[in-house]
Amino acid sequence: MSERWISIDRERSARRIERDIETLAGPDYTRSREAIRRYAYTPEYRNTLDYFIKELEAVGFRCTEDPVGNLVARNRPAGERVFGIGSHCDSNRNGGKYDGTMGVAAAVEVCRLNEELGLNLPLQVISFLEEEGSGFGQMVLGSRIVAGRVSEEELRSFRAIDDGRTFFEHAKEAGYEPERWRECARILDDLVGWIELHIEQARVLEDTGNRLGIVDAIAGYVHADITVRGRSDHAGATPMDLRSDAGLVMAECMLELERLAREAPGDTVGTVGEVELEPNLINAVPGRARFSLDIRGVDEEAFRGVARRLRDFAAESARRRGATSEYSERQSLSVTPLDKRVVGALEEAARASGEPYLRMPSGAAHDTMCVADRVPSAMVFVPCEGGVSHSPEERADPADAALGAEVMLNAIRRLVAAG
């Protein structure tokens, strides 16, 4: 083994990662026979944490959980500087085996390799709580708590989707102390860096023939609604030139959103995912239309500019058709640029692996966007078949995750040595 690059037995690592993933797809780890379904404070989620705890303790890690249930495992005492790796092991309610779980399994494999190869790298694994929001309808909840992106009032107001009971009630019943939630921030105190491996959840890597993606930014987004109010009339009796059709305004806006997003820089994308028409009858001209906007990108001005221009376009389109439009923003989030030094170390390791890789942004949100507030961070993507995710049909290759583990190990080795 050279000082610059360590090769691993990728086939053995792939088998171990596959064993982890297949075990966690078993009946003790999901609430559904048709899909992977596990979320905070359920027995199946508890079983999943216990599985990873057992695997980490086997290679000398001390495992703890913070006051809300984020899992933390270290091979150094508290106070010593460590490099962070991990992801999440909860699932979408109709999820697959790989989303999140593969990232934690790859982090565990890095820990196994560290022990077997005698590298003695200082490591900390984190599996964040409720990334998918399946328990309480709040995405990246565990990492948002750690990053201080929630308030006490909000935490006390969050309610479980299944039974309506509060987050605090469920956390306490599971043996945690959610009233101490501010102390969760401490789990990042000793980190000198952070890397999360995740399936891509798109098909860019697959379509371009790349085995790894080195993620240099996580897209920001605008979530909004446009409501158009026209006039509902009889579909047969009302001539075309006497209509104020809210549905046609919506249709024009959908096409304009596509045009604006294609022209914008920064990997900008725009989607209308929800639509409503009233009265929603086959023989009535729509008098009201409501449609959602999901506009994302890694160029802040570009994606926010698309939202502004579409708002203005909707107003003009509605005016021309004798209607009105109203723009309402639900939520917006800024771009998360990832750390150039960590990204550079990953890119160098990926290049040294001899395997094809792509430097790319993430269009989806991840826990890393919260960690990056305080810790130099980056991500590694592996392909998923057909880009399918959040589905029982989700597929990814453990061999790609093993390659990802090798690249992470070498990047961390370089970063730790550089200090």
Yes or no: say if 377 and 194 are a contact pair by the CB < 8 Å rule: yes
In whole angstroms, how large is the CA radius of gyration of the chain?
Answer: 24
| H or E element, residue 355 | none
Q: What digits encode the pLDDT tens for the residues 53-105?
A: 999 999 999 999 999 999 999 999 999 999 999 999 999 999 999 999 999 99
Look at residue 387 and tell me whether its pLDDT is greater than 60.
yes
Task: Copy the structure tokens of residue 377.
Answer: 């961070």
pLDDT at position 35 over 70: yes
**For the residues 107-133, what does the mean pLDDT come to?**
98
For 326, phi and psi rounded to 5 degrees? Answer: -130, 130
DSSP 290-336: EEEEEEEES-HHHHHHHHHHHHHHHHHHHHHTT-EEEEEEEEEE--E
Q: In the prediction, which pLDDT does 14 show?
A: 98
In this prediction the pTM is 0.92
CATH value of 220-333 in 2.40.128.520, 3.40.640.10, 3.40.1160.10, 3.30.70.360: 3.30.70.360
pLDDT tens track for 140-150: 999 999 999 99
Q: What is the pLDDT of residues 7-23, one digit of tens each?
A: 999 999 999 999 999 99
Question: What is the domain partition of the chain in residue ranges?
Answer: 10-218+335-418, 220-333
What is the per-residue pLDDT for 3? 57
- pLDDT at position 1 is 36
The answer on whether 88 is annotated among ligand-binding residues is yes
Q: Is 234 annotated as a binding residue?
A: no
pLDDT at residue number 5: 87
Q: Give the mean pLDDT of 315-323.
A: 98
Summarised one tens digit per residue, pLDDT across range 186-202 is 999 999 999 999 999 99
Q: How many CB atoms lie within 10 A of CB 207?
A: 11
Q: Is 366 annotated as a binding residue?
A: no
Q: Is 223 annotated as a binding residue?
A: no
Reported as a single tens digit per residue, the pLDDT across 100-115 is 999 999 999 999 999 9
Q: Any idea which fold 10-218+335-418 has?
A: Aminopeptidase (3.40.630)
pLDDT of residue 4: 73
Supply the pLDDT for residue 2.
43
pLDDT mean across residues, the chain: 97
Rounded mean pLDDT, 251-278: 97
What is the structure's pLDDT at 419? 82
